[in-house]
Amino acid sequence: MKFRIILAATALALAATTPSLFAQGSMHHHGHAPSPAMTAAEVRAIDPGTNRITLRHEAAQDAGMPAMTMAFGMAKGLALPAGLKAGDKVQVRIEDVGGTPTVTRLTR
Ligand SMILES: [Cu+2]
């Protein structure tokens, strides 16, 4: 019995002395930037070998890019619509992944 009381007291003391842990957790939860908006684009080329996709995209405010044609990395596990090919009109989410402009979502 005494042992259980000591454990409970220790847990309380830990909670009281580590408020930053709890604060950090809640800040993280509320601190996520909203997902970047989808940007209209047209597929120019898909290269599964290098996991890259070339798009002619409209201005992407969140990525700070005017309209242009460029190659993007494709995020791990990115689901491409079946039969996607050059010329298809799509909507993409562009995000910086480790310094590489990357398509993290693509819909047709
Ligand atoms: Cu661009």
% pLDDT > 90, the chain: 56
Alpha carbon of 23 to ligand 1 centroid (Å): 37
Q: Which token pair is 5?
A: 């009381």
pLDDT-wise least confident of 11-15, 85-89, 99-103: 11-15
Report whether pLDDT(12) > 60. Answer: no
User: Which CATH number covers residue 92?
Assistant: 2.40.50.320
Report whether pLDDT(39) > 50. Answer: yes
Same domain, 20 and 66: no
3-state secondary structure of 7: helix
Cβ neighbour number for residue 49 with a 10 Å cutoff:
6
CB 57 within 8 A of CB 71: no
- Ramachandran category for residue 80: left, alpha or beta (phi over 0 → left; psi -120 to 50 → alpha): beta
Q: Residue 18 belongs to what domain range?
A: 2-31
Same domain, 96 and 54: yes
Alpha carbon of 26 to ligand 1 centroid (Å): 34
Alpha carbon of 49 to ligand 1 centroid (Å): 21
Same domain, 7 and 60: no
Same domain, 27 and 54: no
Alpha carbon of 91 to ligand 1 centroid (Å): 14
